[in-house]
């Protein structure tokens, strides 16, 4: 059967989301958002930070529904899907390890730099939330592919939505904490200092997932 349970539905998406948060360009966009809401009262910060996290989670969750729909169209190719995904993960991991991840950096959604100079509102916080930092896109591709493969095995639309929405929430959660807890702002600066090493660890994680996915596709008993 396709692996599921807590690990597949919650732990892996949440972990990849946190990993995506510490990537260099994600930290940069997070600092832009913090600058945007500086000087507002606590209630204003709460509204915009909440909309930021919610909008990103819902937007990425919707991609999970699309992944399940795509996977369900290829239900007869479960084994090949997991092997192909493993190859993709290995390739992405190698790109990170050799420090060429910048070639994959294509941000999704509105540009934070372009929005930062405009008037502030809760609606602008929503637009910020729709932005997916370029560094996180390869990790999103990993989850999209895995969700599509699960769709080929009969996973529900709800599962696809929840899995990717958790990724989107984890991608924003440390930023929301930094906004609402002043002491956590110093922690964000510390994370920014560590972000230079994040691509190496991301590559190692992706290579591990790739080897697991290929092994799963070759040896697991898959049911359609």
For the cut 50, the answer to whether the pLDDT of residue 202 exceeds it is yes
For the cut 90, the answer to whether the pLDDT of residue 8 exceeds it is no
C-alpha to C-alpha distance for 71 and 68, rounded to whole angstroms: 5
Which has the higher per-residue pLDDT, 11 or 107? 11
Burial level of 120, CB count in 10 A (0-12/13-18/19+)? middle
Q: Which of 7-21, 143-157, 175-189 has the highest mean pLDDT?
A: 7-21
Which has the higher per-residue pLDDT, 208 or 108? 208
For the cut 70, the answer to whether the pLDDT of residue 211 exceeds it is yes
Confidence of residue 167 (pLDDT cuts 50, 70, 90): very high
The predicted pLDDT at position 23 comes to 79
Put residue 3 in one of left, alpha, beta given phi > 0 → left and psi -120 to 50 → alpha.
Answer: beta
Confidence of residue 2 (pLDDT cuts 50, 70, 90): very low
For the cut 50, the answer to whether the pLDDT of residue 178 exceeds it is yes
The DSSP call for residue 10 is I
Q: What is the pLDDT of residues 104-123, one digit of tens each?
A: 555 566 555 555 444 444 56
Q: What is the pLDDT of residues 40-93, one digit of tens each?
A: 888 888 888 888 888 889 989 998 999 888 877 665 566 777 788 788 888 888
For the cut 80, the answer to whether the pLDDT of residue 124 exceeds it is no
Which has the higher per-residue pLDDT, 217 or 222? 217
Give the count of beta carbons closer than 10 Å to the beta carbon of residue 104.
Answer: 14
The predicted pLDDT at position 115 comes to 52
Average pLDDT, the chain: 76
According to DSSP, the residues that pair with 132 across neighbouring strands are 108
Sign (positive or negative) of CA dihedral 162, 20, 135, 213? negative
């Amino acid at each position: 059967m396709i692996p599921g349970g807590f690990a597949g539905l919650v732990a892996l998406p949440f972990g990849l989301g946190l990993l995506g948060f510490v990537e260099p360009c994600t930290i940069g966009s997070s600092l832009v958002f913090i600058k945007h809401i500086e000087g507002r009262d606590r209630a204003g910060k709460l509204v915009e930070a909440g909309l930021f996290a919610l909008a990103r989670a819902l937007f990425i969750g919707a991609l999970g529904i699309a992944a399940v729909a795509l996977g369900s169209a290829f239900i007869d190719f479960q084994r090949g899907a997991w092997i192909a995904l493993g190859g993709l993960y290995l390739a992405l991991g190698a790109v990170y390890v050799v420090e060429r991840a910048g070639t994959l950096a294509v941000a999704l959604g509105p540009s934070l730099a372009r929005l930062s100079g405009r008037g502030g509102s809760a609606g602008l916080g929503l637009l910020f939330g729709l932005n997916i930092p370029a560094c996180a896109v390869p990790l999103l591709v990993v989850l999209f592919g895995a969700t599509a493969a699960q769709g080929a095995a009969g996973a529900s639309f709800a599962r696809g939505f929840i899995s990717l929405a958790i990724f989107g929430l984890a991608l924003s959660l440390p930023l929301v904490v930094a906004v609402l807890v002043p002491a956590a702002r110093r922690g964000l600066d510390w994370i920014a200092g560590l972000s230079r090493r994040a691509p190496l660890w991301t590559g190692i994680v992706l290579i591990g997932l790739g080897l697991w996915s290929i092994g799963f596709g070759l040896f697991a008993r898959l049911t359609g």
